[in-house]
């Protein structure tokens, strides 16, 4: 036991699950259906316009009860209350974790335990969102003018990680609602080819840079911004473009943005209790509001709030984020799955796996408990995926006949206004067929073992009625809370990211060496560095 008095592996439920796991692989999901005609009905749950079917899992009723028991024996309930009430649950950075406040309403019971404080926070959020509304509407209506008096046609969001992935995913996913006269561009990588080729296509007179960085210190973002500034200087003669109407700063660090030169009224702030990977709901989402309009942006927030309320109020066994989290723990901690795949059957959700990689792997890729002890169990899985049907013609071979257990989340919109009936029927038919084939399998004809489909491969199917801003918001909040539940059960801090710091420090050392300073590098890295130098 540690100082929180909780170790997941010491709970009765954990030990019970270990025993159940010994025989689980011998069970058949299909047989579980045969013995329980209500399985499909009982193992599905709805929240708003999202419906999750989790019946195709290698989970008997007994296992499911044990998983629910694990949640009950974990600090999940108190941890969830602590998050929503604004306690500093991000202990290593001594910060609250309040992205849910970004979509809460005043008087909202979502932040109940400290009602006054919570209302004040929501008021602050509303002010900050009012700035997003004002700026986005000015840009959308053509009233925000560049330095030569022309309206904006192109917006470049320069940011990385949480300051890029969420806005980029949302703009792509919600293109049905996009402003026809505005094009959004996303520059994240420090690879100069990315920004230089983008700038070549643009007219500086009508281009706006949204410089998105929580800290306003990130190397890649600042270098890309510098290149953009030089472009404005070279093309428009605009020295210090960062002080002009061509730059807006989106940050939790007003001081740094101000020191950079962004005019005060062009800095859209958000609070430091919003983690970078949870920031698309804040002013970091400006590019989303520019693209789909502020009202749709608010719809996205409303969908996330609906999921927040569901997460707080639904009983554990009908709580969508808890269900997804428990299933993930079952496969990862008890059945030895190393990874989990997210396969959206919707091309506009192509970037969802990349977004979820940061959300899940930066949050739960930890091996130290909240009490600073090394864990002796697996934590966050490797998350990967891409869209169906494309994936069917690439990696699905491994899913059907490979040796690894890969639980899958299939995601689709039941109705798609941008598609037509024929395409959509084929798309969804493929998704349903894959889930079924993976579960049912097929015996091999005599002497043809290569035709054997073992089946018994688990999947969830998550259906959105349509890919509306509201449903998109609920989808993202669902995964945020899933990650939270898993972190609570694993007793880790899902809200820091110290693991990324060492590489940043060493990059700085290496770059200092190229500037003539002597860095302490290992022999392999020194040799590689020397080889690169010799090629240049
Ligand atoms: O290095 C990781 C990280 O800190 C992420 O957590 C974050 O989303 C990203 O870098 C960008 O940080 P910022 O928004 O401060 O530029």
Does residue 504 carry a catalytic annotation? Answer: yes
The answer to the question of residue 487 being in a domain is: yes
Residue of 22, 38, 200, 393 marked active site: 393
Which atom of ligand 1 lies at the shortest distance from residue 284's CA? 14
d(CA 321, CA 311): 7
Contact between residue 480 and residue 342 where contact means Cβ atoms under 8 Å apart: no
The residue whose CA has the least distance to atom 8 of ligand 1 is 162
Binning the chain into helix, strand and coil, the percentages to the nearest 5 are: 55, 10, 30
Q: What is the pLDDT of residues 422-472, one digit of tens each?
A: 999 999 999 999 999 999 999 999 999 999 999 999 999 999 999 999 999
Q: Which of 90, 162, 355 most suits a substitution to test ligand 1, by most atoms within 8 Å of the C-beta? A: 162
Q: Which residues line ligand 1 (CB under 6 A)?
A: 160-163, 213-215, 218, 221, 276-277, 362, 497, 500
Q: Are residues 213 and 281 in the same domain?
A: yes
Q: Are residues 260 and 362 in the same domain?
A: no
Residue 415 CA to ligand 1 centre (angstroms): 35
pLDDT value at position 512?
82
Does residue 299 carry a catalytic annotation? Answer: no
The answer to the question of residue 251 being in a domain is: yes
Q: Are residues 254 and 293 in the same domain?
A: yes
Average pLDDT for the chain: 95
Q: Are residues 249 and 226 in the same domain?
A: yes
d(CA 131, CA 136): 8
Q: What domain range is 504 assigned to? A: 500-535
Q: Are residues 276 and 381 in the same domain?
A: no
Q: Which residue has the tokens 């840009």?
A: 139
Residue of 362, 424, 457, 482 marked active site: 362
Q: What is the pLDDT of residues 66-114, one digit of tens each?
A: 999 999 999 999 999 999 999 999 999 999 999 999 999 987 755 555 6
Could you tell me how many residues make up the chain?
A: 536
Look at residue 346 and tell me whether its pLDDT is greater than 70: yes
Which atom of ligand 1 lies at the shortest distance from residue 279's CA? 8
Question: What percent of the chain stands above pLDDT 90?
Answer: 91
Total domain count, the chain? 3
Q: Are residues 28 and 142 in the same domain?
A: no
d(CA 189, CA 202): 18
The residue whose CA has the least distance to atom 5 of ligand 1 is 161
Contact between residue 67 and residue 17 where contact means Cβ atoms under 8 Å apart: yes
Q: Which of 92, 97, 159, 161 most suits a substitution to test ligand 1, by most atoms within 8 Å of the C-beta? A: 161
Burial class (CB in 10 A: 0-12, 13-18, 19+), 387: buried
d(CA 489, CA 263): 45
Residue 512 CA to ligand 1 centre (angstroms): 22
Q: Are residues 336 and 433 in the same domain?
A: yes
Q: Are residues 476 and 504 in the same domain?
A: no
Element (H, E) at 465: strand 459-466
Collapsing DSSP to helix, strand or coil, 518 comes out as: coil
pTM, two decimal places: 0.97
Q: Which residue has the tokens 């089946």?
A: 455
Collapsing DSSP to helix, strand or coil, 26 comes out as: coil
Does residue 448 carry a catalytic annotation? Answer: no
Residue 11 CA to ligand 1 centre (angstroms): 35
Residue 362 CA to ligand 1 centre (angstroms): 10
Q: What is the pLDDT of residues 226-252, one digit of tens each?
A: 999 999 999 999 999 999 999 999 999
pLDDT value at position 131?
98
d(CA 499, CA 501): 6
The answer to the question of residue 327 being in a domain is: yes
If you average pLDDT over residues 52-67, what whole number do you get? 98
Q: Which residue has the tokens 């079952």?
A: 330
The answer to the question of residue 416 being in a domain is: yes
Which atom of ligand 1 lies at the shortest distance from residue 212's CA? 14
The answer to the question of residue 100 being in a domain is: no
The residue whose CA has the least distance to atom 9 of ligand 1 is 161
The answer to the question of residue 43 being in a domain is: yes
Name the region of 50 (left: φ>0; alpha: ψ -120 to 50; beta: rest).
beta
Collapsing DSSP to helix, strand or coil, 10 comes out as: helix
Residues near 246 by Cβ (< 8 Å), separated by ≥ 6?
146, 147, 204, 207, 208, 209, 232, 238
Q: Are residues 42 and 68 in the same domain?
A: yes
The answer to the question of residue 58 being in a domain is: yes
pLDDT value at position 2?
39
Contact between residue 48 and residue 303 where contact means Cβ atoms under 8 Å apart: yes
Which atom of ligand 1 lies at the shortest distance from residue 501's CA? 1
Contact between residue 79 and residue 89 where contact means Cβ atoms under 8 Å apart: yes
Could you tell me how far CA 516 lies from the centroid of its own chain?
40
The CATH number covering residue 477 comes to 3.40.50.10490
If you average pLDDT over residues 144-162, what whole number do you get? 98
d(CA 295, CA 489): 37
pLDDT value at position 1?
35
Residue 516 CA to ligand 1 centre (angstroms): 28
- Among candidate residues 265, 297, 329, the one where a domain is terminated: 297
- CA-based diameter of the chain, in Å? 76
d(CA 511, CA 505): 10
Find residue 412's DSSP bridge partners: 463
pLDDT value at position 392?
98
d(CA 480, CA 320): 11
Q: Are residues 206 and 251 in the same domain?
A: yes
Q: Which residue has the tokens 């798609």?
A: 416
User: In this structure, what are the phi and psi dihedrals at residue 253, rounded to the nearest 5 degrees?
Assistant: -125, 80
The residue whose CA has the least distance to atom 3 of ligand 1 is 161
Residue 278 CA to ligand 1 centre (angstroms): 11
Residue 383 CA to ligand 1 centre (angstroms): 19
pLDDT value at position 516?
65
Contact between residue 248 and residue 208 where contact means Cβ atoms under 8 Å apart: yes
Contact between residue 399 and residue 385 where contact means Cβ atoms under 8 Å apart: no
Q: Are residues 376 and 419 in the same domain?
A: yes
Q: Are residues 333 and 465 in the same domain?
A: yes
Which atom of ligand 1 lies at the shortest distance from residue 159's CA? 16
Pairing type for strands 207-212 and 247-251 reads parallel
């Amino acid at each position: 036991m540690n100082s929180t008095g909780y170790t997941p592996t010491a709970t009765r439920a954990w030990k019970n699950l270990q025993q159940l796991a010994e025989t689980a692989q011998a069970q058949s999901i299909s047989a579980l259906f045969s013995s329980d005609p209500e399985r499909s009905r009982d193992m599905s749950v709805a929240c708003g316009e999202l419906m999750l079917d989790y019946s195709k899992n290698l989970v008997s009723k007994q296992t499911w009860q044990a998983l629910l028991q694990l949640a009950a024996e974990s600090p999940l309930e108190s941890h969830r209350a602590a998050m929503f009430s604004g306690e500093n649950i991000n202990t290593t950075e001594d910060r609250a974790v309040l992205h849910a406040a970004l979509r809460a309403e005043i008087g909202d019971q979502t932040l109940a335990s400290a009602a006054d404080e919570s209302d004040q926070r929501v008021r602050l959020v509303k002010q900050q969102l009012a700035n997003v509304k004002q700026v986005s509407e000015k840009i959308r209506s053509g009233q925000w003018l560049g330095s030569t008096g022309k309206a904006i046609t192109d917006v470049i969001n320069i940011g990385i990680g949480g300051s890029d992935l969420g806005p980029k995913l949302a703009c792509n996913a919600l293109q049905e609602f996009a402003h026809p006269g505005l094009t959004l561009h996303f520059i994240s990588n420090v690879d100069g080819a990315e920004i230089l080729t983008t700038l070549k296509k643009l007219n500086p007179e009508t281009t706006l840079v949204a410089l998105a960085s929580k800290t306003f210190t990130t190397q890649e973002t600042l270098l890309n911004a510098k290149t953009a500034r030089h472009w404005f200087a070279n093309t428009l003669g605009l020295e210090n473009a960062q002080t002009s109407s061509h730059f807006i700063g989106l940050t939790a660090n007003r001081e740094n943005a101000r020191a950079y030169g962004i005019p005060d009224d062009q800095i859209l702030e958000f609070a430091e209790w919003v983690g970078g990977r949870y920031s698309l709901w804040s002013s970091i989402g400006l590019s989303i509001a520019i693209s789909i309009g502020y009202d749709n942006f608010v719809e996205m927030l409303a969908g996330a709030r609906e999921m927040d309320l569901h997460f707080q109020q639904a009983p554990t066994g009908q709580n969508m984020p808890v269900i997804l989290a428990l299933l993930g723990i079952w496969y990862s901690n008890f059945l030895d799955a190393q990874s989990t795949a997210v396969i959206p059957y919707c091309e506009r959700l192509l970037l969802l796996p990349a977004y979820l990689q940061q959300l899940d792997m930066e949050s739960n890729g930890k091996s130290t408990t909240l009490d600073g002890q090394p864990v002796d169990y697996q934590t966050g899985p490797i998350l990967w995926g891409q869209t169906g049907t494309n994936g069917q013609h690439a990696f699905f071979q491994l899913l059907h006949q490979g040796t690894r257990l890969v639980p899958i989340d299939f995601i689709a919109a039941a109705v798609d206004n941008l598609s037509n009936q024929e395409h959509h029927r084929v798309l969804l038919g493929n998704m349903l067929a894959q889930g079924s084939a993976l579960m049912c399998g097929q015996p091999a004809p005599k002497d043809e073992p290569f035709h054997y489909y073992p089946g018994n491969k688990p999947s969830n199917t998550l259906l959105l009625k349509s890919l509306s801003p509201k449903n998109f918001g609920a989808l993202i909040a669902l995964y945020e809370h899933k990650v939270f539940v898993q972190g609570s059960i694993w007793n880790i801090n899902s809200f820091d990211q110290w693991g990324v710091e060492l590489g940043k420090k060493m990059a700085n050392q290496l770059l200092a060496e190229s500037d003539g300073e002597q860095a302490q590098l290992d022999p392999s890295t020194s040799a590689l560095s020397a080889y690169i130098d010799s090629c240049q």
